[in-house]
Chain A
Amino acid sequence: MTTRGFLPVTNGDALDATREFLRTLFDKQIIDALLVSVEGARNAIMPALVKNPTRLDRANPFAPVMPFNSARLVSMLTRESADVRLGIVLRSCEIRALIELVKFNQAKLDHAIIIGVDCIGTVPIPTYTQTRDQTPDWLAQVFSAGKHGDAGAMPLRAACAMCEQPTPAHADIALGFIGVDSARALVVELRDDLAAQLGVRADAADAEARAAILANLIAARTATRDAALQNFRAQMKSPDGFASYFAACLECTNCMNACPICYCKECFFRTANAEHAPRELLRTAERHGAVTLPPDALLFQMTRLNHMATSCVGCGMCEDACPHGIPLTAMFRAVGARTQKIFDYEPGRDVNAKPPFMEFRRDELQHIGEME
C-alpha cells in the first residue's frame, strides 16, 4: 500500500527540495547509492552513480533532457546481485524499459528502490545544451508546463510529444510536479513503510485538480500519437513504403546502441556471420544490375523491429541517435501498438507478464493475415 502526501518546497526551489529529499534517503539508510542525473560541465546532464550524498548538490532529475534511457545503466549496475541498496531515479519510460529488461534477465530489482519522477517531456540534447542560459531557464519552463499540464511551448522530442504516460508507475517513491504548484510543494506517493520512515503524512489535497490536468495532458498526447501513427501507416501503404522509410539508413547501428532494451552482448549484424563475401555481392549486383550498400540496412531494421516490437516502450532514444533523423519512434510505436494488441501485451506494465516470445497460448494468433 502507498501513502500520498507532499514534499514541502521552501524558497520556491523545488530542485533544492528534491536534492534534500534524496540526501534524506541516504541519511535514513534507505539507500546506499543512487543513480541520478547530474549537471556536468558544458551544460551536460549525465547520469551518475552517487555514493557520497554531498555530491547530490548537482543532481537534477527534472532537466528536460534524456541522454540515456537509464534502464540500460540499471541493467549494468544490477546484473549481478549485490547487497547494496541502489536507489534509481527514473522517468516513466525508463521504468517501463527496466521492467522489460528484468523479464529478459538483464536487470534485477531485488535490492533496488525506484524513485520515479514526473516527466512533462524532454527536448533534443543539442537544443538543451546550446540554450542553457535562456530566460526563463529550462527548469522554470518545465515546472510551469507541469503546473498547467501543457508543454506546448517546449520543443519536445517526437517521442515525448506523443507520450501518454507522463507519471511513473511501479515506483517505490514517486515525485510529481504535474498539476501542482512546485514552487510550494511536490506531490509524493510512496510505499507506506517508506512514508513512515521519511515522515511523509497522508494528504489528499489537490488530488482531483492534478488528476484533471493529467487527464487533459494525456488526451492531448494521445491525439498527437494517433496522428503520428496514422501518418506512419499512410506512408507504409505504398509498395516500397518500408524501403523508402529507411532509404537513408547507414546501418550505423546507433539506434541499436541507444535502445535501452536491445540487450544482445553483440549484435548479430556486427559478427562475422553477417559478413558478405565479395563474390556474393557481385553476384547479386549481376542479377539485379546494382545492389545498394551497405547491403543489410533493411534487414537490420526489420530484425530490430522483430526483436523489439513487443517490448518497445516508445522512449525514442533510437530516433535521437539516428544521424539521418529517420523517424523511428513513430514506426516502433505503430508496429508495437498492433503487435502488442495481438498478444494482449503492454510492455512495462507488469513485471510478471511474460513477453509473447516466452509464452505459448493455444488460442493466440487465430487470425493470420491482414489485420483490420
Chain B
Amino acid sequence: MKPRIGVYICHCGLNIANTVDVEATREFARALPNVSVARNYTYMCSDPGQALITNDIRELGLTHVVVASCSPRMHEPTFRATIHKAGLNPYCLEMANIREQCAWVHADKKFATLKAMDLIASAVAKVAWLVPLQTREVGVTQAALVIGGGIAGLHAALDIADAGFPVALVEKQPYLGGRVAQLYTTFPTQERVADLLAPLIARVTQHPHIRVIANAKVEQIEGFIGNFRATVRTRPAFVDATKCDACGKCVDACPVSVPDAFNANLTPRRAIYRPTPNAPLVVDATQCTYIQDRVCLSEPRCVAACDRHAIDFSQAETVSELNVGAIIVATGASAFDATLKPELGFGAAANVITSLQFERLAANPAEFAKAFGAAKEIAFVSCVGSRDATTGNAYCSRVCCMVNAKQAQIVKQQFPAARVTIFYADVRAFGKGHEEFYDAVRQSGVRYRRGYVSEVYRRGAKMIVRAEDTLIQKPLEVEADLVVLGVGLTPRAETDEVANLLSLPRSGDGFLLEIHPKLRPVETAVDGVFLAGTCQGPKDIVDTIAQARAAASSALAPLCRGTVKVESATSTVNDEMCAGCGLCVATCPYGAPALNARTGKTRVNAVLCKGCGACAAACPSKAIQVMQFTPRQILSQIAVLA
C-alpha cells in the first residue's frame, strides 16, 4: 500500500512563524512524494491543533504523520498519543525540528524557510519507511534498594516503606545518619541534629518494611528497571551484640590508634571502636592487627580483655542477593579536604580547623570550651574549596555561608566577649529563613568582611589572616586565635565506583548526573535508578530531604503500577549478516547485546535495550539495527538532502 502522509507545520505562536515562511513551507510539503495533506497552525500541540491531525487520519486515511515543530524531546510523546488516539500506531510519526534547529538559530527568513523545507522533506522521506511497533510492558519486582543511609537515604527509604513496599537500605558505615550525624546543629534554626536524627533512625530501624544492611557494600547490580538484582556484601562486626555490655575494656586493650574519621580526625580511635558515641562496638577489619596478622598475631588483646566472650573473630562476611524494582542512590558527598589549600594553614597549625571539626567540637561541650573558651579573636573563612578554580571546584557549596553564620552565632552565644570575623566572597542566603538568619547573626556583633583570603599563617601565638577587602580594595591582615575554614562539598572518592556500578553518567563537577535539572531532576540515564541528596550536587539538609522524598515518589511510580513500559524502538540482529565480532557487545552501555555461545551471533535482550543506537553505529555491516533508525530510514532522510 502506498503511504499516505500528513504534514503538520506548527507556528509555535511566532517562535517559528517569525523566521520561517510557514505558508510557503506548507505548499512545498504538499507537493512532496506520498504527501496527502499539509497544514499549518498556530499551536499544533493545542487541542484544536491535535484535532486537525486526528480528523485527517480518520477522514483521509493517513498512514503516517510528520509534525514540523519543536524538538522531539518536547512533544514527541504528545503527538504519538495524538495519532494513537485516531487509530494509527504511535511509532508512525516523525518530527521535523524546525524550531530549535531552525527558527531559533537563524535570522534570515529566506534561508530559514529553505532549511525548514529541507528538514520537512527529509522527515517525509523517512516517515514512509517507519513500521508500526508494539508497546511492550514488563513486570516489576515491588521492592526498592536505597544505597546510602544518610539523611537522604533514610527519608527515601521511609517514604517507600510507608507506601507498603519492602526496602533494603544499604549503608557502608556501621552506623546510620551519614554526614549529618557528624553535625551539631542545623541552620537557620539551631536545632540539635541528634534530636532530628535519632527519631528518624528509630523509625527506619523499627519499620517492618525496611531491612537495614549496615557495614555493607553493594558489589554488583544487574538487570533493568523493575527487575534489578543487587549483590550486597556485609562485613561482620566481630562483636556479638547479644553478649556485649559495652564496658569498653576491649577498646582500652586494643594496640591500634588511627584518626577517628567520624570525629573529623580530631581524636584517635582504636581498631575496635564505637563508630558513633551511641553505636554498638565493631571491629574495623582494615585496621585490626589480629585480622591483618600483625601485632596481635594469634592472641587478640581485645578477646583477652573481654569478660563476656563477646568478641568473635569467626564471624564471616555475608553476601546477599536482593531483587528490587527501583534503586535510589543516596551516597552523599565529602567535605572538601582543606589540605589541598595549604596556604590556609590547615594541618600545619593546630588552631586552624575546618567547619566540620567545629561541629564535632561543638557537640562536646567540654572540648568546645577548651578550644574556644580562651580565644579572643576567631576568624571564619568561607568558600574553602568552593567557587575556586585553583581547586577545580567552580561550583558553590550551597552550605558554607550558612554554616559560617551558624557557627559564628554559636561562638557568640557561648562566648559573647569573643570577636568574630567572617571573611566572605558573597553571602548566599537563598533558602527559606536564611536571609533573616544572616541579618540576625550580623546584628549580634559578628563582623562580615568581604574579602578573598589569600593566606593564613602563624605569627607568634596568633594566626594572621591576610585578605583583600574587596569593598575598600585594600589588603588587610587580621589576627586570630582560631581560624575556622568553611569547607565546601566534593564528590565522594567512591563516586566513580558507584557510577560504574550503575552505568550512571557524571556532570563536569564530578557529581552524579540527573537527566534534566528541571524536567527530570531525580531521574538518571538508567531507568529505575534515581538520585537523592548530595551525590547529585551540593545541597543543604532541607533540599536533600526534599530531593530524597521526590526520588522516593518517582521510584514508587513503577512499584505501585507493577509493570513498566519499555522502549519499543530497540535493536534487532539479522543473523545472516552478523559476523559475531562483538563490537556491539563492547559498545552497549546497558549490556543488551550478547554473543550466543552456540551460534556465535549476537542476541539482543530487548528489555535492556534503550534504543540509543551505539551498537548499530558500531556494527560494520549494519547487521544490528535500531528500529526507527534503520539505515534504510536514515539514508532516505539523507538522500533528499544530498
Chain A interface residues (CB < 8 Å from chain B):
79, 104-106, 263-268, 271-274, 276-277, 279-280, 283-284, 287, 307, 354, 357-359
Contacts and interface: CB of A to CB of B under 8 A. Distances in A.
Given A280-B639, A284-B639, A265 B581 contact: no
5 contacts: A106-B581, A265-B577, A279-B33, A283-B640, A358-B587
A265 B623 contact: yes
A358 B583 contact: yes
Residue from B33, B620, B631 having most chain A Cβ neighbours under 10 A: B620
B618 A357 contact: yes
B581 A263 contact: yes
Contacts of B586: 354, 357-359
Contacts of A287: 642
A191 to B, nearest CB: 29
Given A265-B577, A276-B639, A357 B583 contact: yes
Interface SS majority for chain B: loop
A307 B618 CA distance: 9
Contacts of B580: 105
B501 interface: no
Given A264-B577, A264-B579, A264-B623, 14 more contacts: A105-B582, A105-B600, A106-B579, A263-B581, A264-B621, A266-B576, A266-B621, A271-B577, A273-B622, A280-B636, A280-B640, A283-B640, A357-B583, A357-B587
Given A104-B583, A307-B620, A358-B586, A266 B577 contact: yes
Contacts of B579: 104-106, 263-265
The 9 closest A-B pairs by CB, nearest first: A264-B621, A358-B586, A104-B581, A280-B639, A273-B631, A307-B620, A284-B642, A265-B579, A268-B622
A265 B642 contact: no
B618 A267 contact: no
A277 B639 CA distance: 9
B578 interface: yes
A354 B583 CA distance: 11
Pick the most buried of B579, B583, B623, B640: most chain A CB atoms within 10 A of its CB.
B579
B28 to A, nearest CB: 14
Contacts of A106: 579, 581
Contact of A265 (B33, B576, B630): B576
B201 to A, nearest CB: 37
Nearest to B632: A273
A283 B578 CA distance: 33
Nearest to B635: A273
Contact of B620 (A268, A274, A359): A268
Contacts of A266: 576-577, 621
A276 B622 CA distance: 17
B595 interface: yes
A276 B582 CA distance: 29
Interface in B608-635: 618, 620-623, 630-632, 635
Contacts of A104: 579, 581-583
A359 B618 CA distance: 12
A303 to B, nearest CB: 8
Contacts of B635: 273-274
Nearest to B125: A280
Interface residues of B, number: 26
A264 B642 contact: no
Nearest to A79: B600
B145 to A, nearest CB: 26
Nearest to A277: B639
Nearest to A281: B639
Nearest to A362: B496
A241 B620 CA distance: 25
A277 to B, nearest CB: 8
A267 B621 contact: yes
B392 to A, nearest CB: 16
B583 A265 contact: no
Interface string B568-605: 00000000111111110011000000010000100000
Interface in B224-273: none
A265 B582 contact: no
Nearest to A306: B620
Contacts of B621: 264-268, 271
A357 B623 CA distance: 17
Contacts of A272: 632
Contacts of B640: 280, 283
Nearest to B639: A280
Contacts of B587: 357-358
B214 to A, nearest CB: 32
Nearest to B630: A273
A231 B576 CA distance: 41
A358 B584 CA distance: 8
Given A104-B583, A273-B635, A358-B586, A264 B620 contact: yes
A331 to B, nearest CB: 18
B347 to A, nearest CB: 30
Contacts of A273: 622, 630-632, 635
A279 B639 CA distance: 10
B489 to A, nearest CB: 22
B31 to A, nearest CB: 13
B76 to A, nearest CB: 25
A49 B640 CA distance: 50
A271 B640 CA distance: 20
Contacts of B631: 268, 273-274
Most B CB atoms within 10 A — which of A268, A272, A279, A354?
Answer: A268
A82 B375 CA distance: 83
A132 B620 CA distance: 40
Contacts of B600: 79, 105
Contacts of A105: 579-582, 595, 600
Contacts of B578: 265
Contacts of A268: 620-622, 631
A279 B125 CA distance: 12
A273 B642 CA distance: 17
A227 B187 CA distance: 71
Contacts of A265: 576-579, 621, 623
A71 to B, nearest CB: 15
Interface string B545-580: 000000000000000000000000000000011111
A1 to B, nearest CB: 32
Nearest to A80: B600
B633 to A, nearest CB: 10
A283 B125 CA distance: 13
B228 to A, nearest CB: 23
A169 B600 CA distance: 29
Interface string B258-301: 00000000000000000000000000000000000000000000
Looking at A265, A307, A359, the one whose CB has the most chain B CB atoms below 10 A away is A265
Contacts of A284: 639, 642
Contacts of A358: 582-583, 586-587
A77 to B, nearest CB: 15
A363 to B, nearest CB: 13
Contacts of B582: 104-105, 358
A286 B622 CA distance: 30
Contacts of B620: 263-264, 268, 307
A312 to B, nearest CB: 14
A104 B619 CA distance: 12
A115 B632 CA distance: 45
Question: For B578, B618, B621, which residue has the most chain A Cβ atoms within 10 angstroms?
Answer: B621
